[in-house]
Structure 1
Amino acid sequence: MATRAATWDYRDRFTDDFARTYFRAFGDCVVSSIGVGTYLGDPTDAADDDYRDAIVAAVESGVNVVDTAINYRCQRSERVVGRALADADVDREAVLVATKGGFVPFDGERPEDPGRYIREEFVDTGLVAPADLMRGQHCIAPAYIDDQLDRSLSNLDLDTIDLYYVHNPETQLAERSVDEVYDTLEATFERLEERAAAGDIRHYGVATWEAFRVRQDDDQYLALGEVVERARAAADAAGNAATHLRAIQLPFNVFMADAFTVASHDTPDGAKSALWFANDAGLDVFTSASIMQGRLASEMPEGVAAELEGETRAQRAINFARSAPGVTSSLVGMGSPTHVAENVAAGTYEPLGAGAFDAVFE
């Protein structure tokens, strides 16, 4: 588990290598504003080796946020994260490890008949009720998330996961009402509150693709205010003094800036964007798709690029994402050691100040 003492020691070890505000608060810990993402890549031994080397290089260079999910690369991403953390010359307690549960994972490789595999491994065994399985691949029911959390702990070879996300709950809206989804989230939050009290996770959150950045009339919309209220109710039901809901994850980059520009979350002071709502509510924000799966490494509006510091477009894109209000860390895919040095070096440049960031949208 990441601890205050170890993360602050890590900051002291690397802070002189980076620009101002590179390290940021996360609870009582401090974490890098650039994180390692592990989504892309084939489920192969060769890709595993590249990821292992990249993660080791990153955490030994000043990046202490590593993000994964049980379904990424057929559970291989979680397993290689565990291997890399064991091999790296860095205290495990200095690294924030985040993972997710929701999508049904394959095991090691994609099966020849995915539908049959899911039916035999998850439905026929009683782990997933047919009514809870959306689009044949997604479930966030409490018992299922409970099982996935155990599998993630094993894959990562950890006693405690620092941040455990419910993964893309908006997928459930394909066949369920929004109230049913909120009810399921509350029940699952209660189970996660229990797991937090038991020490299996330290915090939990919600990782999304669409839900928090679209307008209220969108079919994929979920209200952050309602999510927070459901988490508070779950904490009460679990007998916890305060909720362990700590963070959200959503895409944010130059081309996908909706989390800043779309004011879709109601507050007593009026509607606010996801980033501002989270900032005011004390929720940490981790951005995904920070360089849009490589697109921003070669393509960026000149007017935006001119406002950002960085030697390369990828570095400018990373600095755009981590300049947004309320962002704790921006995740960047680092499946190859060759990309690590460039991505980490983005942190040697100053992020935009609030006024300069706002000016980009004028």
Structure 2
Amino acid sequence: MATREALWGYRDRFGDAFGRTYFRRFGPGVVSSVGIGTYLGEPTPAVDEDSRESIALALRSGINHVDTAANYRCGRAERVVGDALRDAPVDREAVVVATKGGFLPFDGERPADPSAYVRERFVEPGIVDPDDLANGAHSLAPAFLEWSLERSLDRLGLDAVDCYYVHNPETQLAVRSREAVYDALEAAFETLERRRAAGDVGAYGVATWDAFRLPADADGALSLAEVLGRAEAAGEAVGPDDDHGFEAIQLPFNVAMADAFTRANQPAPPGSDDEGPVSVLEFAHEAGLSVVTSASVGQGDLTVDGAIPADVDATLAGDTPAQRALNFARSAPGVTSSLVGTSDPDHVRENVAAGTFDPLGASAFDAVFE
């Protein structure tokens, strides 16, 4: 697991090469504000090799935040992350490793009949109960998350992960009420609290797509305030004190998907000066939660000339559209780290170089939306 000493040591090794606030507080220490994601790419040996090379390059170039999930690339992504960590000339304790559980993963390749695979691999052996499934492929059941975490640790070849996300809990809203989803999350958090106490998980959170970006009354919306409250209840239930390990959220954020900053859809946090609703970024900041952005360059859509509106583009630092798009995401107040998925070493170098430019200050970022 990452340690304070090793994380700060990594910052001391690389920090002088980067711009202001490149390394930011996370967990026991600091983490690079550019992270490498592992979502994209076909489940093939060729992509495995390219991804392994890209992650290793990132780790030895100033990126010490790697994000993956049990289901990414049919389970291959976690294996590649583990291989890269073992081969990189960087201590494991200097790297924040995050993974996710919730979606039922394939094993190395896409099956010809996914429904039959789920039935034979998960339902019949009793790993999941059909009643817990949403869209035939997603579960928040504690027993399934336990199983998923164990498999993730095995694929990664690690004793522990630094952050374990419950993956897209809003998927469950397709088959059950919002209150039932909150209840399921609380049960899941109790499981993760026990795994945190056992030393298998450093912290946990939720990785979402729609849940925290939509209007509060939208069908797919969840309240971060309620989710945090359920984590607090889980921490109190598991004990031995009333602390909890809910420390991070992940959500899409980029110049074309800025809802997390522009939409006031969360209640004002207790003790806040705000009287009305606030954005999810503001709520997370006030609550002391780390925010990790996914789709930081729009899964590649924002890396071409003209994709960023000209007036916004002119305010951003960077030599390429990809660098400026990435610097928009990591400039948002309250953002800890912005992920970019790539298996191309040249893109890794480009993303690393984005961190040599200073992000926008809070006032300048606010001015973009005026």
Q: TM-score, normalised by structure 1?
A: 0.99
| Post-superposition CA distance 1:251-271 (Å, at most 9, x none) | 000000000001011125321
Corresponding position of 1:254:
255
Matches within 5 A, 1:176-215: 176-215=176-215
Deviation (angstroms), 1:357: 0.2
Deviation (angstroms), 1:239: 1.1
In the alignment, which of 304, 311, 331 is matched to residue 323 of structure 1? 331
Q: Does the CA-based 8 Å contact 1:36-1:65 persist in structure 2?
A: yes
Deviation (angstroms), 1:190: 0.2
Unpaired segments ≥5 residues, structure 1? none
Corresponding position of 1:245:
246
Structure 2 residue 62 is matched with structure 1 residue 54: no
Matches within 5 A, 1:190-339: 190-241=190-241, 242-267=243-268, 268=270, 269=274, 270-298=276-304, 299-339=307-347
Between the aligned partners of 1:32 and 1:262, the Cα distance in structure 2 is 27
Deviation (angstroms), 1:27: 2.7
Corresponding position of 2:356:
348
Q: Does the CA-based 8 Å contact 2:7-2:93 persist in structure 1?
A: yes
State the identity %: 64
Corresponding position of 2:79:
79
Matches within 5 A, 1:50-199: 50-199=50-199
Between the aligned partners of 1:27 and 1:180, the Cα distance in structure 2 is 30
Between the aligned partners of 2:320 and 2:281, the Cα distance in structure 1 is 26
Between the aligned partners of 2:144 and 2:363, the Cα distance in structure 1 is 45
Between the aligned partners of 1:201 and 1:171, the Cα distance in structure 2 is 23
Which stretches of structure 1, 4 residues or longer, exceed 4 Å deviation after superposition? none
Between the aligned partners of 1:335 and 1:3, the Cα distance in structure 2 is 27
What residue identity is the alignment partner of 1:260? Answer: F
Between the aligned partners of 1:235 and 1:23, the Cα distance in structure 2 is 29
| Post-superposition CA distance 1:15-52 (Å, at most 9, x none) | 11101100001132110000000000000000000000
Q: Does the CA-based 8 Å contact 1:193-1:240 persist in structure 2?
A: no
More displaced stretch, 233-242 vs 48-57: 233-242
Between the aligned partners of 2:172 and 2:28, the Cα distance in structure 1 is 33
Between the aligned partners of 1:293 and 1:189, the Cα distance in structure 2 is 30
Q: Does the CA-based 8 Å contact 2:27-2:203 persist in structure 1?
A: no
What residue identity is the alignment partner of 2:27? Answer: G
SS at structure 2 position matched to 1:285? strand
Corresponding position of 1:44:
44
Between the aligned partners of 2:2 and 2:333, the Cα distance in structure 1 is 24
Q: TM-score, normalised by structure 2?
A: 0.97
Deviation (angstroms), 1:127: 1.0
- CA RMSD in angstroms comes to 0.7
SS at structure 1 position matched to 2:302? helix
Between the aligned partners of 1:346 and 1:259, the Cα distance in structure 2 is 22
Deviation (angstroms), 1:338: 1.9
Task: Report how many residues are paired.
Answer: 362
Q: Does the CA-based 8 Å contact 2:36-2:55 persist in structure 1?
A: yes
What residue identity is the alignment partner of 2:262? Answer: T
What residue identity is the alignment partner of 2:360? Answer: L
Deviation (angstroms), 1:217: 1.3
Unpaired segments ≥5 residues, structure 2? none
SS at structure 2 position matched to 1:225? helix
